[in-house]
Amino acid sequence: MRMNDLPKERSQPRVLHLGHTTEIGGAEMALARLLESSTRGWNAHLLIPRKPRSNGAFSELASPIISRVGPAQAPGATSSGRSIGALLRFALSGVTQAVLIRTNSSFRTADVLHANTSRSAIYAALAALSCRTPLVIHLRDMVSRESLGALGYELFTRLVLRRADGVIANSGATLDSALPHLRASTHSEVIPSPAGITTVAHSIEAARRAARPVDVIGMVARVDEWKGHEVLLRAFSAAFAGSHVRLKLAGGTPFANADYQRKLLTLCEDLGVTDQVEWLGHVTDVPTFIASLDVCVQSSIRPEPLGQNVLQYLAAGKPTVAVDAGGPAEWIENETTGILTDMGDVDALADALTRLADDQELRVALATNAPTTVADATDEIVTQRHAAFFRQVVGRRPGQVGP
């Protein structure tokens, strides 16, 4: 069924969104922003597991668009264990969830299936077998063994991507990692995730703020080993230990990362910067937090698929240091809109932070240029692009039938 053939009373496609967790992660927050939009442009329904009962990242959504099916799902694209038992539990969980999705009434009435995460894409692909409803896979992770795990990578490349009718990638790097595994007929597009950007800073105001001395450096990122907190702490210590400069870290510990944060607290003690580092946990008002910073950092130790935090920094007109890999490198022009450093290089990050603290002219130049790079990445524009993509996928599947 083409979009022109939709019933007159239903001019918007019905999209069934599939998630595997309500934890407050980047993928979940991005989907929540899409579904909360007043200019969404499609009829949405969200299927998530029954547990935990808390809606978490989706707590602001109206209850009628949320349904719960199936058992709790572990984080990640695949089982974290390597034993036969762990793999069997993963397989049983995925198949069970796929069957429950396939038999749910929202599945039967959907014009488009949208898998929001790598793990949900696995059971979405199973549920969509021998079904003519278009399947859209949202790529928010690199298609690599490092990101997906050995089993997840095999399932993703051999089953999920081969079944996809549409692929939305959050960056060019993410899409490039998937292209070898897509069918020629798969409709694909790079669309950044909504990052909570409603407006971008005025360049003159951003420059004025950047001219002030550097007192606070910060990062927005959930506490997870690959987000590079250790690299940042070591670089901050090398640059500012014993000074008045503070480091503020905003981000919770979803996906069972509390133990890792305790290790980081011990590292702060060893580095002698405990009194200079503030751990704020999950921050709801991210724009206000970013506004309190003088320099912003992204320091992941594997390529970041998009880097929502980087988009948020640039939109706020903040002097930014990011890793020269993955999505952030597509948004930052080195020495013009930000500073790029080699991934995992503590010394390079320390040098960049020191340089920004000492060079007012450089801070002002970066702050002036930064907002212009994300003018087309506001949530409203990003949501409109998602709506257009869903319509295109429906239109490309002429054999689809619906009620």
Q: Half-sphere exposure of residue 80, counting CA atoms within 13 Å on the CB side?
A: 6
The predicted structure's pLDDT at residue 380:
96
Asked if 143 and 156 touch (Cβ cutoff 8 Å), the reply is: yes
Sheet with strand 112-115: strands edge to edge: 66-68, 43-48, 14-18, 112-115, 135-139, 166-169, 187-190
Residue among 170, 65, 74 nearest 110 (CA): 65
Which residues are 323's β-sheet partners?
Answer: 341
According to the model, what pLDDT value does residue 75 have?
63
Strand 295-297: give its sheet, edge to edge.
277-281, 246-250, 216-220, 295-297, 320-323, 339-341
pLDDT value of residue 77: 53
Q: 298-336: per-residue pLDDT in tens?
A: 999 999 999 999 999 999 999 999 999 999 999 999 999
Question: In sequence order, what E strands does 142-229 have?
Answer: 166-169, 187-190, 216-220
pLDDT for res 256: 73
Q: For residue 3, give every residue at least 6 positions away whose Cβ sits within 8 Å of its Cβ, in sequence order, or none.
A: 13, 391, 394, 395
- Burial annotation 80-94 (CB, 10 A radius, 16+ → b, else e): eeeeeeeeeebeebb
In 3D space, the residue among 261, 306, 303 whose CA is nearest the CA of residue 281 turns out to be: 261
CA dist list (Å): 314 to 192, 205, 311, 321? 14, 13, 5, 10
Q: What are the tokens at 87?
A: 């793999």
Residues 325-329: contacts with CB within 8 Å, 24+ apart? 325/173, 326/142, 326/171, 326/173, 326/174, 326/300, 327/170, 327/171, 327/172, 327/173, 327/174, 327/303, 328/298, 328/304, 329/173
Low-confidence ranges of the chain (pLDDT < 70): 1-10, 75-83, 86, 397-403
Q: Which two tokens stand for residue 201?
A: 């800073």
Q: In sequence order, what are the beta bridge partners of 246?
A: 216
Give how far the C-alpha of residue 150 lies from the chain's centroid of Cα atoms, to the nearest Å. 21
Residues 23, 57 contacting (CB under 8 angstroms): yes
Give whole-number Cα distances, 66 to 26, 101, 122, in Å.
Answer: 19, 13, 20
Neighbours of 329 (CB within 10 A): 22
**Which stretches does DSSP call E strand in 170-271?**
187-190, 216-220, 246-250
d(CA 138, CA 26): 13
Q: Which domains can be identified in the chain, with CATH numbers? A: 3-196+379-395 (3.40.50.2000), 203-374 (3.40.50.2000)
Q: Which two tokens stand for residue 62?
A: 């109206």
Q: What is the pLDDT of residue 254?
A: 83
Evaluate whether 238 touches 350 at the Cβ level (below 8 Å): yes
Sign of the dihedral through C-alpha 304, 309, 314, 318: negative
